[in-house]
Amino acid sequence: MSIGNKIAAVRRTLPAGVELVAVSKYHPAEAIREAYDAGQRVFGENRPQEMKAKHEILPRDIEWRMIGHLQTNKVKYIAPFVSMIESLDSERLAAAIDKEAAKNGRTIDCLLEIHVADEDTKSGWDYDELDAFVRGGGFDAYRNIRIRGVMGMATNTDDETVIRRDFMRLAECKRSLADCFGPEFDTLSMGMSDDYPIAVECGSTEVRIGSEIFGAREY
C-alpha cells in the first residue's frame, strides 16, 4: 500500500476532531513529500537538526511538531518555525523555549509531557510535581509559551488493560490541570501505531503515527 493509501486508511478509523500527526522521524524527505501530496500537513519529528533540514527543503505550509526529548541547547534550531513542542518535560526546557520564542518574536505552542508508563526510560513530568509547579504559577513568567494540553505514552506492552490504564491516567491529568489554563488547553496527544485505537477510546484528540504510515524505521 502506498503512503497516501495508508494515511487514508488511518484517517478512516479516526473520529472527526482527532488530529493525525504523521511521525516521519528517520524517514527521508521523499516519504514526507508523498504524504504531503496525499494531503497530510502535520508531521512529527524527534531530532531538532533533522526537523530543521527537512523544513528547509519541504513546503512551507507543513506544521512541524517536536515529539522527542529536546535538549535546551537545541531549541534554537527549531524555534523559528516549529508549530508545537509536544515534549515539554521540565522547567529548564520551558525557560529555554520561552527565550528562543521571544528572540524570534513568536509564541510557541507546547504540550506538557507526562510520564505515566511503567518504564523509567520514558521521559516526562511526574504528575504530582507538575501539578505543584503549575499551581505554584511556575509557567506564569513564560509569556512566549502557550500551553495547549498534555502528551504522553502508554507502557510498551501487549496487555490492553495496562495500556488503557495509562491512557485513562493521561486523560485524568489533562482534566485535573484544565482549571489552571484557558480554553486553549484543548489537546490530549496520545496513541501511536500499536495502540492508537485504545487512545482514541480514552479521549485522545491527537494521535502520533509513524510506522503504520511510513513502515519500519532504519536507525
Ligand X SMILES: *Cc1c(COP(=O)(O)O)cnc(C)c1O
Q: Contact residues for ligand X (CB under 6 A)?
A: 23, 25, 46, 67-68, 153, 192-194, 208-212
Choice between 138 and 203, CB closer to ligand X: 203
Give CA 71 to chain center in angstroms: 16
Which one-letter amino acid corresponds to residue 85? I
> Rounded to the nearest whole angstrom, what is the least distance from the CB of residue 129 to ligand X in the complex?
20
> Rounded to the nearest whole angstrom, what is the least distance from the CB of residue 196 to ligand X in the complex?
8
Choice between 91 and 194, CB closer to ligand X: 194
> Rounded to the nearest whole angstrom, what is the least distance from the CB of residue 186 to ligand X in the complex?
19
**DSSP labels, 132-183:** HHHHTTTTTT-TTEEEEEEE----SSS-HHHHHHHHHHHHHHHHHHGGGS-T
CB atoms within 10 A of CB 150: 31
> Rounded to the nearest whole angstrom, what is the least distance from the CB of residue 136 to ligand X in the complex?
27
Give the residue nearest to ligand X (CB). Answer: 210
Choice between 11 and 103, CB closer to ligand X: 11
Which region, left, alpha or beta, applies to residue 55 given φ > 0 means left and ψ of -120 to 50 means alpha?
alpha
> Rounded to the nearest whole angstrom, what is the least distance from the CB of residue 175 to ligand X in the complex?
21
Choice between 20 and 179, CB closer to ligand X: 20
Choice between 21 and 134, CB closer to ligand X: 21
**DSSP labels, 26-46:** TS-HHHHHHHHHTT--EEEES
Residue 23 and residue 34: Cα distance in Å, rounded?
13
